[in-house]
């Protein structure tokens, strides 16, 4: 049975495990119908031209993991940002691990979506926010919505800020021969609230994992949200990340995506600006090797005047890796004085690596500043010779130049520990000891 | 120290150097002059090991060793330094981090430990003073947004830090005002010793008023067409390059 049929057939079993009287269940059922009609996206669709899910659909994924897969902290410590104190929402094979987590209800809610969906006190919040920003047409998002049960729930009330960042970690143990996960995160920052989140998916064995994740982020007036996605998974892991961000007036939201691993990664990152003086920041560093594939699809929809968006993606592609950047900017007719910037710069460091990059601008207002630029190139020979002539060997010199190339994306990372961790990952990924602390 | 014998080099089908002979001994300063396009900068790049140029005939020996199979970094480790005409901008890497990397990679290649941080700091301060460089300069990204003068001063700073046996200064005077020129030349002079040598490549005689050469060579069409002492530079200034071009034809 192909994956689509298997998913649809398993929905009834899923229904037996959830409360069908919950209003959310109607949303699930609707979403399943959408998925049933549309099925998995295929390469004849313009948006999926360069990313094929064909192979994954032939894998016999388990859809409901076993309940009792434990992990010892010492075995997974390195995947946490252990150099600093954080709240932690940890899942093992899709199941919440209270042992590895550190949640809170002290003034802010940093906990589980399953709790938020079932407890009456959260019902008003769920009614206002759940599945409002997420697409109801997109088939992968609908598939996730249909099977919504678990994930992170973060609610920061007006004028509040948690005292430390939140880490959302998904581990897959490989206890199933192949496992499909569909986490669902709901993140709300009310007026003038602040929040920092680090999200990571990590598979621990070479057994295949497919994650189809949906995250909704709501930033109310004056709220500030910084979100960091660390994608450094094994060759056996594939990720389809669907993130929807709804911003109100004067809010600032940034999403940094660090893609250093995984077999296939698709990032659908969607920003909707619903207010004035909004700032949206989308940044990415992609460093790939082997036969890895990363596809960044971004959308920024400017729906109100006087807003800004800033996109800056750097990609370094080695061996047979492939990359895609497709950046869509829509500026509505009333969104005058929009300032939208988009840049995608790519280095091909192997003859067999490829990258496809495409800006897509739909501008209906006449008084806007929109600039975009895509480059695909190789390491600057003059710069390489300059460094070598100073005694820096070619390999280290290349790494230094690649680091310099990716570096300006890190400048906007506001958590020093995250910045340091990422620079270390970059150095490791480039396979060198740089003669100084980055 | 440096022996160049009948050196021919070029790119693809274009011959640029057509039989260069040059010998530089420890303690000497040589000036290589010549009109644009005569091959001066190519000669500098070929000595430093730039792979874009192919050596078709002849040899470069440095302290008796044939440089042919050595990568640019290996030549640097052996003590050859090239001050670039157009230093490259590298955003995100500070001057300090860059020089630390260069020094420690060179030490590593020689089988030495990294230079201790306090010693490095002391050396940086000492050389900064010599070249009248402001401390703020060191936390800036390498060459990014530097003025022409700052770039050249940074090159000489790196030379002072790396203490090469042979320094090749490629058009170090271009883009410098007279004050910067004096500081840079003064820096070079203070670094001179009986054991190291300097090759100054320049279009104009101006720099040679500050860095006094022992020998002056004039290049034209890929060859050294005339050699002499410092008086030759003055003669060139007076008569212009057409004079050597004509002599070369004769």
Tens place of pLDDT per residue across chain A (438 aa): 799 999 999 999 999 989 888 989 999 999 999 999 999 999 999 999 999 999 999 999 999 877 667 888 888 998 999 889 999 999 999 999 999 999 999 999 999 999 999 999 999 999 999 999 999 999 999 999 999 999 999 999 999 999 999 999 999 998 888 999 999 999 999 999 999 999 999 999 999 999 999 999 999 999 999 999 999 999 999 999 999 999 999 999 999 999 999 999 999 999 999 999 999 999 999 999 999 999 999 999 999 999 999 999 999 999 999 999 999 999 999 999 999 999 999 999 999 999 999 999 999 999 999 999 999 999 999 999 999 999 999 988 988 888 888 877 888 999 999 998 898 888 888 876 655 544
- Chain B CB contacts of A434 under 8 Å are 101
Answer with the one of A253, A274, A295 that is the final residue of a domain: A274
- Look at residue B249 and tell me whether its pLDDT is greater than 90: no
Does residue A237 form part of some domain?
A: yes
Determine, for residues B105 and A436 on separate chains, whether the beta-carbon distance falls below 8 Å.
Answer: no
Chain B residues bordering chain A (beta-carbon distance below 8 Å): 45, 48-52, 71-73, 75-77, 81-82, 84, 86-88, 90-93, 97-98, 100-106, 109, 114, 158, 162
Q: Span B145-164, mean pLDDT?
A: 92
pLDDT for the residue numbered A438: 40
Q: Which element (helix H / strand E) includes A209? A: strand A208-219
Q: How many residues does chain B have?
A: 250
- Whether A94 and A227 share a structural domain: yes
Tokens of residue B234, six digits: 């003055």
- For residue B20, give the nearest of B202, B215, B168, B223 by alpha carbon: B223
B74-107 pLDDT, tens digit per residue, is: 999 999 999 999 999 988 788 998 999 999 999 9
Answer with the one of A229, A259, A274 that is the final residue of a domain: A274
A253 Cβ neighbours under 8 A, 6+ residues apart: A217, A219, A223, A224, A225, A226, A227, A245, A247, A271, A279, A280, A281
If one counts the domains in chain A, the total is 2
- Chain B CB contacts of A389 under 8 Å are 48-49, 72-73, 75-76, 81-82, 84
- For residue A417, give the nearest of A144, A114, A84 by alpha carbon: A84
DSSP character for A332? Answer: -
Handedness of CA B119, B125, B131, B133 (dihedral sign): positive
DSSP character for B114? Answer: P
Domain assignment of residue A419, given as a range: 389-438
Determine, for residues B102 and A436 on separate chains, whether the beta-carbon distance falls below 8 Å.
Answer: no
Does residue A329 form part of some domain?
A: no
Contact A362, A390 (CB under 8 A): no
Tokens of residue A105, six digits: 């209800």
CA distances (Å), origin B56, targets A143, B10, B219: 65, 8, 19
CA distances (Å), origin B184, targets A4, B84, B191: 72, 14, 11
pLDDT for the residue numbered B205: 86
pLDDT for the residue numbered A96: 94
Q: E strands, A93-156, where?
A: 95-96, 109-112, 152-156
- For residue A389, give the nearest of B4, B52, B202 by alpha carbon: B52
- Chain B CB contacts of A382 under 8 Å are 86, 88
Does residue A353 form part of some domain?
A: no
| Residue B201 three-state SS | strand
Does residue A312 form part of some domain?
A: no
The shortest CB-CB distance from B101 to any of A385, A392, A405 is to A392
B170-183 pLDDT, tens digit per residue, is: 999 887 888 889 98
| ipTM of the complex model | 0.95
The shortest CB-CB distance from B72 to any of A389, A396, A403 is to A389
Does residue A379 form part of some domain?
A: no
Q: Does domain B2-249 have CATH number 3.30.420.40?
A: no
Q: How many CA atoms lie within 13 A of A29 on its CB side?
A: 11
Return residues 403-422 of A near B (CB < 8 Å): 403-405, 407-408
Does residue A431 form part of some domain?
A: yes
What totals of helices (H) and strands (E) does chain A contain, helices first? 10, 20
The shortest CB-CB distance from A400 to any of B48, B49, B101 is to B101
Tokens of residue B1, six digits: 């120290």
pLDDT for the residue numbered A185: 98
- Look at residue B219 and tell me whether its pLDDT is greater than 60: yes
Q: Work out the minimum CA distance from A282 to partner chain B, whole angstroms.
A: 20
Does residue A295 form part of some domain?
A: no
Q: Work out the minimum CA distance from B236 to partner chain A, whole angstroms.
A: 31
Q: Work out the minimum CA distance from B249 to partner chain A, whole angstroms.
A: 35
Answer with the one of A274, A302, A317 that is the final residue of a domain: A274
The shortest CB-CB distance from A404 to any of B86, B92, B100 is to B92
Does residue A132 form part of some domain?
A: yes
């Amino acid at each position: 049975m192909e994956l689509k049929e298997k998913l649809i057939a398993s929905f009834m079993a899923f229904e037996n495990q959830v409360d069908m009287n919950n209003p959310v269940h109607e949303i699930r059922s609707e979403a399943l119908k959408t998925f049933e009609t549309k099925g998995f996206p295929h390469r004849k669709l313009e948006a999926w031209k360069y990313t094929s899910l064909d192979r994954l659909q032939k894998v016999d994924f388990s859809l409901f993991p076993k309940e009792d897969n434990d992990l010892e902290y010492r075995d997974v410590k390195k995947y946490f940002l252990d150099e600093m104190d954080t709240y932690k929402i940890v899942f093992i094979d899709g199941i919440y691990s209270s042992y590895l987590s550190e949640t809170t209800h002290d003034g802010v809610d940093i906990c589980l979506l399953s709790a938020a969906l079932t407890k009456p006190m959260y019902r008003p919040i769920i009614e206002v926010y759940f599945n409002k920003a997420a697409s109801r047409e997109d088939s992968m998002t609908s598939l996730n919505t249909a099977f919504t049960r678990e994930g992170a729930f973060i609610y920061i009330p007006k004028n509040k800020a948690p005292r430390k960042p939140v880490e959302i970690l998904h581990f897959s143990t490989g206890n199933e021969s192949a496992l499909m996960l569909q986490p669902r995160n709901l993140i709300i920052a009310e007026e003038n609230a602040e929040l920092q989140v680090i999200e990571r998916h990590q598979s621990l064995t070479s057994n295949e994992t497919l994650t189809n994740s949906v995250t909704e982020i709501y930033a109310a007036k004056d709220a500030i949200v910084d979100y960091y996605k660390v994608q450094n998974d094994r060759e056996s892991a594939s990720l389809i990340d669907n993130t929807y961000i709804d911003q109100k007036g004067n809010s600032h939201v940034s999403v940094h995506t660090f893609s250093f691993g995984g077999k296939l990664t698709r990032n659908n990152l969607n920003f909707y600006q619903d207010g004035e003086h909004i700032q949206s920041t989308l940044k990415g560093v992609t460093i790939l090797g082997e036969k890895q594939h990363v596809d960044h699809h971004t959308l920024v929809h400017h729906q109100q005047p006087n807003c800004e968006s800033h996109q800056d993606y750097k990609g370094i592609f080695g061996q047979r890796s492939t990359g895609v950047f497709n950046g869509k900017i829509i500026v509505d007719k009333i969104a005058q004085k929009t300032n939208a910037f988009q840049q995608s710069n790519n280095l091909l460091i192997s003859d067999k690596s490829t990258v496809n990059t495409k800006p897509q601008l739909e501008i209906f207002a006449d008084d806007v500043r929109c600039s975009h630029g895509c480059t695909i190139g190789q390491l600057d020979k003059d710069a390489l010779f300059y460094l070598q002539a100073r005694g820096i060997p070619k390999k280290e010199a290349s790494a230094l130049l690649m680091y310099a190339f990716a570096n300006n994306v890190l400048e906007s990372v506001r958590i020093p520990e995250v910045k340091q961790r990422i620079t270390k990952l970059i150095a490791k990924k480039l396979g060198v000891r740089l003669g100084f602390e980055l | 120290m440096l022996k160049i014998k009948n050196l021919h080099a070029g790119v693809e089908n274009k011959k640029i150097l057509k039989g260069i002979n040059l010998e530089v001994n420890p303690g000497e300063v040589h000036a290589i002059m010549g009109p644009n396009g005569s091959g001066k900068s190519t000669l500098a790049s070929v000595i430093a090991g730039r792979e874009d140029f192919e050596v078709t005939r002849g040899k470069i020996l440095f302290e008796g060793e044939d440089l042919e199979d050595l990568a640019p970094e290996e030549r640097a480790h052996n003590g050859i330094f090239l001050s670039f005409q157009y230093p490259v901008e590298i955003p995100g890497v500070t001057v300090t981090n860059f020089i630390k990397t260069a020094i420690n990679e060179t030490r590593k290649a020689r089988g030495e430990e990294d230079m201790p941080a306090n010693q490095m700091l002391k050396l940086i301060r000492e050389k900064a003073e010599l070249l009248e460089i402001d401390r703020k300069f060191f936390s800036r990204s390498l060459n990014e947004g530097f003025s022409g003068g700052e770039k050249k001063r940074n090159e000489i700073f790196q030379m002072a830090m790396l203490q090469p046996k042979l320094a090749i200064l490629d058009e170090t005077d271009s883009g410098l005002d007279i004050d910067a020129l004096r500081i840079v030349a003064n820096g070079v002079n203070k670094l001179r010793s009986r054991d190291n040598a300097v090759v100054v490549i320049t279009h104009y005689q101006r720099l040679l008023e500050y860095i006094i050469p022992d020998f002056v060579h004039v290049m034209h069409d890929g060859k050294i067409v005339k050699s002499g002492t410092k008086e030759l530079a003055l003669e060139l200034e007076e008569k212009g390059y057409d004079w050597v071009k004509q002599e070369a034809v004769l």
